[in-house]
Amino acid sequence: ESFRAFFHAQWFRQRGLLAMLDRNISIKEGPERWQEMESSEIAKLDVVFCFEGRVFDLLIEDLEGREPQEFEPIHVLNLEVKDNADEAAIAGQICLELCKLLQKYAKNLEDKLPVAVEEITKKYEREILSKTCYL
């Protein structure tokens, strides 16, 4: 039994899963489920990032199905990422740079978001999907 536990731990360690869990433990209190968030909480968000097209589509569907609160814009962005540690690290840097640009444009986000997305898209040659919803 201890050999099996050791083998499983090695398998998870080699794939970077234990490191990912350690990182998540340090930045999250627990799993976060979008669908459990109240519309009033979501309405406070300006920008939401997704990293998989299917999740992007589901998130848009969820937002469009909610009862609008204040009709405030929520910009939903998707950067497609392969599910591995190296791709995640690259995507993290791309998103960080985009966030810094968006923060710079915060007072005029509605107009400047497409400019920021285009700038990052050209720089990294990675498509970023964007949709604005209102809640």
Supply the pLDDT for residue 11.
Answer: 77
Supply the pLDDT for residue 70.
Answer: 84
Token pair 């960080």 is found at 96
State both tokens at 104.
């710079």
> Can you give the pLDDT of all 135 residues of the chain as single tens digits?
666 666 677 777 787 777 777 777 777 777 678 888 999 999 999 999 999 999 999 999 999 999 887 889 999 999 999 978 789 889 999 999 999 999 999 999 999 999 999 999 999 999 999 999 999
Q: Identify how many contiguous H helices and E strands the chain contains and give both numbers.
A: 6, 3
Q: Give the Cα separation of 104 and 107 in Å (integer).
A: 8
The pTM of the whole model exceeds 0.85:
no
Task: Work out the number of other CB atoms within 10 angstroms of the CB of residue 128.
Answer: 18
Nearest to 78 by CA among 107, 104, 98, 105: 98
